[in-house]
Amino acid sequence: MKKAIFFDMNETLLNLSLLKGQFDHYFDDTFALKYWFTMLLHSSTVIGGMGSYADFGKLSSAALDRLFVESNKSLTPAIKEEILGAFKRLPAYDDVRAGLKWLQTQGIRTIAVSNSSLAMTQEQLTNAGIIDLFDAYYSVDSVERYKPFQDIYLYAAAQEHLDVKDIAMVATHDWDLYGAKKAGLSTGYIIRKETIYNPYYIHADADSSNLLDLVKTLATIS
């Protein structure tokens, strides 16, 4: 039986629908949100690969600046605050509470591991109404290197005094699970959208479109 399950936050536990509404309000392109999020993740990976670091809030703001410039639109401070503010108020998916509660009944620790700052992670969990279901949460700010680099998975495991073999990571991003797998964790892919799992990444040990089903399977992987 696993001793802990690590969870990604954005898109994995938290639904981006509220944020999408903000982007749809300012852009006719339905891919605007995806493009912004991709730019954000790309920049975090690039600076990590170069041994540099800037917090997620600054990278989010810079990606938004770029999106508006490339779209030939004006971005005011009020609009920026409106959009990025929605990022902090994302609702949890309907299956999240049941999955987390089941882990509690089994004595398995539930731990959020996020690219967001520690303060934002706390705020997101609180606003989503699920912070009471978490035993701990960690931010890449502690290691100053973003997922999928191995640093944060190993750091959180060390802080929890756990061997990586006793931990599984849940995410809807294949690159996140690739990093966790390379760090030695078991991995579970929660299917939140129609996409293709990158064939060049190590595939997850389990997958499901329902979080409760997924964590039940992951809990017993040796």
Give the mean pLDDT per block of 10 residues along the chain (222 residues).
Answer: 97 93 91 94 94 94 96 94 92 98 98 96 97 98 97 98 98 98 98 96 98 98 88
What topology does CATH give the domain 17-87? Answer: DNA polymerase; domain 1 (1.10.150)
Query: How many residues belong to the chain?
Result: 222
* Residue intervals in the chain for CATH 3.40.50.1000: 4-15+91-219
Asked if omega into 148 is within 30° of 0 (cis), the reply is yes
* Residue intervals in the chain for CATH 1.10.150.240: 17-87
Write the DSSP assignment of 40-58 as a string of letters. Answer: HHHHHHHHHHTT----HHH
Contact 10, 192 (CB under 8 A): no
pLDDT value at position 30?
87
Q: Can you give the C-alpha Rg of the chain in angstroms?
A: 17
- DSSP tally for the chain: helices H, then strands E: 9, 6
Nearest to 172 by CA among 214, 133, 130, 200: 214
pLDDT value at position 29?
87
pLDDT value at position 102?
98
Q: Which CATH class is domain 4-15+91-219?
A: alpha beta
The half-sphere exposure of 9 on its side-chain side, counting CA atoms within 13 A, is: 31
